[in-house]
């Protein structure tokens, strides 16, 4: 029994020693860490010291008294030197510091001098009689234009109806603007040369002349006699071109030409000229008036007779005769030179 008790005691002591060793390791880890890892311990200690120093510095800065910022400005101060001899020197300029609560002296700005110049406005005198005259002139122009348009359509209708014998080229028949188409038709006469039917067709195409005659209330137009024949129908009320109709022995030329193309006109054949030909004839008329009579007054013309002659491979208009209106015996200034 003694031997068993001894063995039992030895196991108890060993267990106790083992238990105590484990407890020492569990509760003595810091000691073990310091003994086993000195560099790590030194690093942690140094970090703690740095944190403590930083905390102390921040605390010291917070306890410093705050200073109030004061703006100081320097202002010139006139100082008069005390010269007993009375030298009369100009006062010198010095600077001094202003106190914190002292207001900064500001010199008043001079008021700007604004000079207002005089504006001369000339008011135009209102003259009602001048405006009335201008309105009357405008009304007369409108009336004349309307009258010329009516006269043009009447002449055209009469010509298309075969009742226009001697109604064109008589001159001075239309009052108003002498440059209007109606006034030109009233004083212009166009004389065709005596040519063969083939030359006649070439002449019409050269000047882009359209032949037309009345069919009911419309005009049947034909052109392109030496090339491609063109036909069209239009209202005579929309017409505004210079027109003419050959007289004497030239009327049969139109019928002969149209019949050779298989066309039978049902009325009097009228010649319609394009606007560019009208402008050309007007220039020829004005030039002849200036050269022969030294004036630009178209109202003095009673009749202008144009002729057509060959020019190279084409044709050209020229002024054959320009007749002026007979002068008024009571007005010697109207007598032509």
What are the DSSP calls for 132-170, one per residue? HHHHHHHHHHHHHHHHHHHHHHHHHHHHHTT--TT-SS-
| 159 domain residue, yes or no | no
Beta strands 243-244 and 270-272 are antiparallel
Most confident region among 174-178, 219-223, 256-260, 263-267 by mean pLDDT: 219-223
The CB density around residue 280, as the number of other CB atoms within 10 Å, is 16
| Domain region containing 200 | 169-334
Q: What is the DSSP letter of 228?
A: S
With 80 as the cut, is the pLDDT of residue 306 above it? Answer: yes
Mean pLDDT, rounded, of the chain: 76
The pLDDT of residue 159 is: 83
Number of residues assigned to the chain = 337
| 197 domain residue, yes or no | yes
Domain count, the chain: 1
DSSP secondary structure of 304-334: EEEEEEEETTEEEEEEEEEEEPPPPTT-GGG
pLDDT in tens, 86-138: 455 555 545 566 566 666 666 677 776 666 666 666 666 767 777 787 888 88
Tell me the β-bridge partners of 220.
213, 233
| 251 domain residue, yes or no | yes
pLDDT in tens, 186-209: 899 999 998 998 999 999 999 999
127: which 2 tokens? 């003259």
What is the pTM assigned to this prediction?
A: 0.57
pLDDT in tens, 21-58: 444 444 455 555 556 666 777 787 888 988 888 888 88
| 64 domain residue, yes or no | no
| 286 domain residue, yes or no | yes
| 247 domain residue, yes or no | yes
CB 323 within 8 Å of CB 293: no
| 300 domain residue, yes or no | yes
| 83 domain residue, yes or no | no
291: which 2 tokens? 């050269």
Beta strands 301-311 and 188-191 are parallel
Helices (H), the chain: 2-27, 29-36, 38-62, 128-160, 181-187, 197-206, 251-260, 275-293
SS3 217: coil
């Amino acid at each position: 029994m003694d031997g068993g008790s001894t063995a039992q005691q030895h196991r108890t002591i060993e267990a106790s020693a083992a238990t105590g060793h484990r407890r020492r390791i569990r509760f003595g880890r810091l000691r073990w860490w310091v003994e086993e890892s000195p560099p790590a311990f030194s690093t942690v200690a140094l970090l703690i010291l740095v944190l403590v120093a930083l905390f102390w510095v921040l605390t010291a800065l917070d306890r410093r008294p705050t200073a109030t910022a004061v703006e100081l400005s320097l202002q010139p101060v006139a100082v008069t030197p005390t010269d007993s001899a009375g030298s009369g020197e100009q006062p010198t300029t010095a600077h001094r510091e202003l106190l914190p609560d002292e207001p900064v002296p500001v010199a008043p700005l001079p008021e700007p001098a604004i000079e207002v110049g005089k504006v001369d406005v000339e008011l135009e005198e209102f003259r009602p009689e001048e405006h009335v005259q201008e309105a009357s002139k405008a009304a007369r122009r409108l009336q004349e234009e309307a009258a010329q348009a009516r006269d043009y359509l009447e002449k055209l209708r009469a010509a298309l109806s075969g009742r226009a014998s001697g109604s064109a080229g008589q001159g001075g028949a239309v009052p108003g603007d002498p440059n209007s188409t109606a006034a030109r038709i009233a004083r212009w006469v166009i004389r065709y040369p005596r040519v063969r039917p083939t030359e006649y067709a070439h002449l019409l195409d050269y000047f882009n002349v359209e032949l037309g005659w009345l069919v009911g209330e419309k005009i049947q137009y034909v052109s392109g006699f030496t090339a491609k024949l063109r036909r069209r129908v239009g209202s005579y009320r929309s017409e505004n071109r210079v027109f003419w109709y050959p007289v004497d022995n030239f009327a049969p030329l139109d019928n002969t030409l149209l019949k050779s193309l298989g066309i039978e006109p049902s009325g009097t054949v009228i010649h319609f000229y394009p606007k560019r030909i009208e402008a050309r004839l007007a220039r020829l008329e004005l030039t002849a008036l200036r050269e022969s009579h030294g004036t630009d007054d178209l109202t003095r013309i009673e009749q202008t007779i144009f002729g057509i002659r060959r020019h190279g491979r084409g044709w050209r208009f020229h002024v054959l005769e320009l007749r002026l209106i007979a002068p008024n015996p009571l007005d010697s200034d109207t007598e032509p030179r």
